[in-house]
Amino acid sequence: MIDGLAGAVDAASVEVPSLRLRDVLMNERVDLLKLDIEGAEAAILQHLAASGALQNIHALICEWHEWDPGAPRLHEGLSQLAGA
């Protein structure tokens, strides 16, 4: 046990399967999608827009992070959404 972590569980690593968001959205409609992806918003929205997957999202909540004030990308994300 680590000092100061009374009650902590010692556990082995667990392998968790993952899915591409694009693959899920290409096969089904989503009523509400919440994105909180710590700075990857523009890249993900561009990827989804290029595949046509954005059109299967009815509503989107996005927490947008701009890490480089010299290169804002919010306008790109909004353009991707407007185009869908």
Q: What is the pLDDT of residues 37-75, one digit of tens each?
A: 887 888 888 889 889 998 899 998 988 887 777 877 788
Q: Is the pTM of this model over 0.75?
A: no
Q: Give the contacts of 32 (CB within 8 A, at least 6 positions apart).
A: 58, 59, 60, 61
Find the angle CA(18)-CA(63)-CA(30) to the nearest 5 degrees: 55
Q: For residues 40 and 64, what is the distance between their CA atoms, to the nearest angstrom?
A: 9
Question: Could you write out the three-class secondary structure of 20-48?
Answer: CHHHHHHHCCEEEEEECCCCCHHHHHHHH
